[in-house]
Amino acid sequence: MRDDDHWVVTGQKVWSSKAHFADWCLLLVRTDAEAPKHKGISCLVVDMQSPGVTWRPLVQLSGRRDFNELFLEDVRVPIDNVLGPVDGGWPLIRAALAHERGTLWRSTQDPSAERLARARRPVPPRADGRPVGRRRLPPPGGAGLHRAQVFAAHTLRILPRLHGASDAPPEAALQKLFGSEIQQRTLELAMAIAGPYAQLGRDHRALDGGEWEEAYLYSRSVTISSGTSEVLRNLVAQQALGLPRAG
């Protein structure tokens, strides 16, 4: 709602990443109630210290608190704090989401070969000198390493397309869909390779210890963030394959 030289924002958002660290946030808000659903939306830059802004942590399976529930009650945002044109926020956020989805795992969350390589290295013997056995690998077994390598190569392949795109290319949705699901499968495989050592503390000499368990539990969230796998499959079907909308 517009009030003189401010926007007044009231609303709630679940799954606000790093809200407890952020000084500023980007909000998509409806600034024209009469416009069609993808029109009349503006992108506001909001000071997280503004009166009326509160957040509540969401505790994950791993015990970490990376995500939050964000509450806004009559938050006043200066009219100059609009990113891009008024009522033109939807194309901006589509482009931003494409870059996030297409480059999500060119970072410390990369689920590719490096994790598996560390999990596959020999495990030191136990204190009594006997070797430590490993369980039979579940599907996809060793194929998981190849899929991770293909994923990493595909990430590099689409970067030029993302850089030059003014809108959201469908490859970004495919990349995030493939990357999030391969991360889950890779960590399931890594946990099987490591066996019981995966749940030991980080200081254990056999493996990286609790890192595996924490990463495995965290991976439950990656098929939700940046668009759920169900939403992304619809985007790929409609935008890449030209299939009609369901229903």
Active-site residues, by number, are 100
List the structure tokens of 79.
């009219």
Distances (CA, A) of 209 to 10, 37, 144, 157, 195: 44, 48, 21, 34, 10
List the structure tokens of 2.
């517009």
Question: Using only C-alpha atoms, what is the Rg of the chain?
Answer: 22
List the structure tokens of 96.
């931003």
- Give SS3 for 191: helix
Q: By C-alpha distance, which of 125, 104, 116 is closest to 212?
A: 116
Count of other CB atoms within 10 angstroms of residue 210: 16
Question: Any bridge partners for residue 7, and if so which?
Answer: 2, 77
Give exposure, 62-71, as e/b (b: 16+ Cβ within 10 Å). Answer: beeebbbebb
- Give SS3 for 160: helix
Q: By C-alpha distance, which of 228, 2, 59, 162 is closest to 236?
A: 228
- Give SS3 for 60: coil
